[in-house]
Amino acid sequence: MDLAELRMRILRRVYLSKLIGREAELARRPDWVQASTGSPARFDIMLEGLKRAPGGPAAAGDAMRHMLGSMWGIYRSLQSVDGNPAAPKTRMPSAELAELEAFAHSVRVDDTGYARLSGTLVFEGKAVLHRNAIVLTMEMDKRRIDTSPSRESFVAVHETYHNLGDAANQIAGWLRKRGYSAQAGHPLMGLALYPPLAQQAGLGWRGMNGLLITPRFGPRVRLAAVFTSVENLPVDPDKARQHLWIEKYCALCRRCASECPPQAILDPPREHDSGLVSCVDAEACFPYFFDYYGCSICIRVCPFQEREYSALKRSFDKRNNRIAR
């Protein structure tokens, strides 16, 4: 047995025996936020990848190190909920919220937003501790993402998963030390659907590829959340509307869909009775995704990660004004 196969066997055993079982145990807790009718099933990328040949791109040394780090981070996020205070605080003073945001930036989170989690966004068969969500973004390294699909871009993606997972756990720990209850939602194999949650938090808008398009980095980010007992987070349902134009821009652009090698991006997206939208055919995407270093072509070619958000908005508005005349 070579080193790559040994690593994959360790990953498979840890993931299946520890993490999936713990998720199932937490989902049985009656006071948690349960999935509801219309909740999506999580496409389990880790599990599907572990079914495939151990010598694939996932066996790359640096990527494997970060994947194992993410597995530990997921384990910490699931186990640490038992260390929450029995009677957690529910109101956070504005000064302490400012301290929280400063701490998040100190652990390399790029942007924070706030939203209320609905059961529809909780994955089928999963559960989350609280509805109050602190949503987090972290940029992926542009130089390496621009090489996708490549080993470099693959490592960059998993490095960000690892680092953002650590940040989410640290933020959850920061909250617990101050008397609040918290659960870190890891960016890899999370318990809830992050892009619409981040959209609600005003951090951007869902692109045609299903990824969140952010003003600072386009789709070149990973998302995580910390679910907390804090009831007075500054949730602003109207904040997201400033990014609504992205959806119309994507409908005109379609570059991610046209350059997707397996043609996995749905055009138009598939709408569900729950109000959620499927943008990618996972069955078409995953084989190419697995064989070609996690692909990321739809991120690389997106105009929002190449040009400034404000410049794209100006050109879009000018076009609309010409059409309106």
Q: What is the DSSP string of 79-118?
A: HGGGGS-SS-B----HHHHHHHHHHHHHTT--EEEEEE--
Contact 138, 160 (CB under 8 A): yes
Biggest CA pair distance of the chain: 69
| Average pLDDT value for the chain | 91
Quick one: average pLDDT of 223-228?
A: 98
pLDDT score of 87 more than 90 = yes
Given this model, what pLDDT does residue 56 score? 57
Domain that holds residue 267: 3-324
Quick one: average pLDDT of 178-198?
A: 97
From residue 191, alpha-carbon distances to 13, 43, 171 in Å are 20, 11, 17
pLDDT score of 188 more than 70 = yes
Quick one: average pLDDT of 24-53?
A: 87
Model confidence at 46, in pLDDT bands (50, 70, 90)? confident
Coil/strand/helix, residue 224: strand
pLDDT score of 164 more than 70 = yes
pLDDT score of 59 more than 90 = no
Q: How many domains does the chain have?
A: 1
Structure tokens at 144: 């390496």
Model confidence at 103, in pLDDT bands (50, 70, 90)? very high
Model confidence at 320, in pLDDT bands (50, 70, 90)? confident
Dihedral of alpha carbons 139, 143, 149, 155, sign: negative
Pairing of strands 205-206, 182-185: unpaired
The Cα–Cα gap between 196 and 215 comes to 16
Given this model, what pLDDT does residue 325 score? 57
Given this model, what pLDDT does residue 127 score? 97
Percent of the chain exceeding pLDDT 70 equals 91
Quick one: average pLDDT of 260-286?
A: 93
Which range is least confidently modeled, 3-17, 201-215, 298-312? 3-17
The Cα–Cα gap between 123 and 192 comes to 5
Quick one: average pLDDT of 96-119?
A: 98
Model confidence at 67, in pLDDT bands (50, 70, 90)? confident
Please measure the distance between the N-terminal and C-terminal CA atoms of the chain and give it in whole angstroms. 69
Model confidence at 187, in pLDDT bands (50, 70, 90)? very high
Model confidence at 60, in pLDDT bands (50, 70, 90)? low
- Of residues 59 and 103, more confidence is placed in 103
pLDDT score of 55 more than 60 = no
The Cα–Cα gap between 144 and 32 comes to 39
Model confidence at 77, in pLDDT bands (50, 70, 90)? very high
Q: Which of the listed ranges 36-50, 64-78, 114-128 does the model predict with the highest average pLDDT?
A: 114-128
268 preceded by cis ω (within 30°)? yes
pLDDT score of 13 more than 70 = no
237 preceded by cis ω (within 30°)? no
pLDDT score of 249 more than 70 = yes
Which range is least confidently modeled, 60-64, 96-100, 216-220? 60-64
Coil/strand/helix, residue 265: strand
Given this model, what pLDDT does residue 288 score? 94
